[in-house]
A and B are shown apart, each in its own frame.
Chain A
Amino acid sequence: MTAGNERYPAHDNQRIFRAILLTMSQPGSVTALGNWPNPPENLHPAAAAVCLTLVDMDTPLWIGKNTPNDIQTYLRFHCGCPVVRKQDRGAFGLILDGNDLPDLSEFNMGDIEYPDRSATLIIQVKDIQVGSGVLLTGPGINGQVQIGIEGLDTSFWQFLQHNNRQFPLGVDVILATQTEIVSLPRTVQVGI
């Protein structure tokens, strides 16, 4: 599962995981993942890195119908994950274009006794800016933080408000540009 890096792939996995953990525990904080790995065109390196770090044979991955074959082949091979077509079957969902979102409420929101069984969504976006845009509050955020996302349909923020109201149910989202990620767990409250 090295996917094009050098000697110690375990270190890369660890480094990417810590970056994800940092963003998930401090929603709104942006972390650069660097240039690992080297995925096919239209799959952002940052999104691919998240997949390689978290997705495996135990976690079905949902990808959209129009996903290019080379991306599907890449993820199947390197993550070893089953690829599913039904949205509610995916433990992870990969959305290649933030402007072309499926109905996000169709993803698995978890069970009230097992809210941890909900899906984690990886959504590719163009750019992330801190200090302007939507206002985020909630656990992990010291006061409030503002982030602006380029290349993400505005309906996403309404969904995120809906997502937070379902707590403890809800999906957790990782937004990925080419090189950076920001995480929006279900605890995030959005002021638009």
Chain B
Amino acid sequence: MSFIKESAAGTENTPRETEDTGYNYGYLDEQTKRMIRRAILKAVAIPGYQVPFAGREMPMPYGWGTGGIQLSASILGSDDVFKVIDQGADDTTNAVSIRKFFARVTGVETTEKTTEASVIQTRHRIPETPLTDGQIMVYQVPIPEPLRWIEARETETRKMHALEEYGVMHVQLYEDIARHGRIATNFMYPVKVDDRYIMSPSPIPKFDNPKLDMSPALHIFGAGREKRIYAVPPYTEVKSLDFEDHPFSVETWDDCCGLCGAKDSYLDEVILNDQGERMFVCSDTDYCTTRQQEGHRGPMAAREDISELKGTGPKAA
């Protein structure tokens, strides 16, 4: 079982064992949380529009998820169950650190199971397991402005959003087709939300874009360095930009996951040794583990020298 509970369940309004009561609840002061909460509500009311907010210094560098943790700090409460993923994995440094941070400053219960989480903070993936009503996804966003690659000036991109002047976005995709014969943008693939604002879905692979469309969950995006918050409410149309003769399509793989045999999940390629051996594994560790527990086996599952990938032991010599 990879499912862990890092804090004991406590009754409401009593600090949990792990909670550090030397800080205000949720690390941020109440006035800051109110400011962020107001920005979140406006972001939800204007789907896809980037609301500026007075981002605070967090106890980690920009680029490590300062936008995401300010959102989580303003959202999380004692009833929540919190999951953090980094590139789909619950057990990477960034994910473990953020999970521990919130276990400490909010005493929140944590999980690795997508189905058990009420709030999921993520860097660059949407879980494979379908999200459900009431769940909140919190995204860490490096560059919130989809038009920034085309127009460097904030004053101009703001006008472009105001006037719905989005022609250049299609020009960028067209240049892809002219150069590569296909739309070569594979992550941070721009979307149009509720037929109005063009939005960057953060650097998720385009494989995950369709999961945003009419999703039952609420998706909130936070950019700490750029100080922007934006959102996609549940049951909202999210369309990936494309052309009639070059329709949007997602990545496919010839291989299946080496551990769980999944053919429908986003796969990472892993080089195994200097003999040129390689394998593909699910990027979503919870999805992969759950499938293996259900008895699914991939072609590489029996190999002894990949115990590190399987999470069952130290790296083999």
Contacts and interface: CB of A to CB of B under 8 A. Distances in A.
Interface of A: 1, 6-11, 13-15, 17-18, 20-22, 24-26, 53-54, 56-59, 112-116, 118, 120, 139-142, 167-168, 172, 185-187
Contact of A113 (B39, B47, B162): B162
Contacts of A24: 41, 44-45
B236 A56 contact: no
Given A11-B12, A54-B34, A140-B44, 10 more contacts: A8-B25, A11-B77, A13-B30, A22-B134, A56-B34, A59-B38, A139-B237, A140-B233, A185-B45, A187-B47
Interface string B275-286: 000000000000
Contacts of B35: 58
Given A10-B24, A10-B30, A11-B13, A168 B37 contact: no
Contacts of A9: 30
B37 A53 contact: yes
Given A24-B41, A26-B233, A53-B37, A139 B194 contact: yes
Nearest to A27: B233
Contacts of B40: 21
Contacts, number: 113
Nearest to A55: B34
Interface residues of B, number: 47
B5 interface: no
A54 to B, nearest CB: 6
B236 A139 contact: yes
Given A6-B13, A116-B43, A139 B34 contact: no
- Residue in B34, B194, B231 whose Cβ sees the most chain A Cβ within 10 Å: B34
Contacts of B45: 24, 172, 185-187
Nearest to A20: B41
Contact of A140 (B43, B51, B52, B236): B236
B73 to A, nearest CB: 10
Contacts of A118: 42
A117 to B, nearest CB: 8
Interface in B41-78: 41-47, 49, 51-52, 74-78
A116 B46 contact: yes
Contacts of A139: 47, 194, 233, 235-237
Nearest to A118: B42
Contacts of B41: 20-21, 24, 54, 120, 172
A165 to B, nearest CB: 13
B158 interface: yes
B13 to A, nearest CB: 5
Contact of A142 (B78, B162, B235): B235
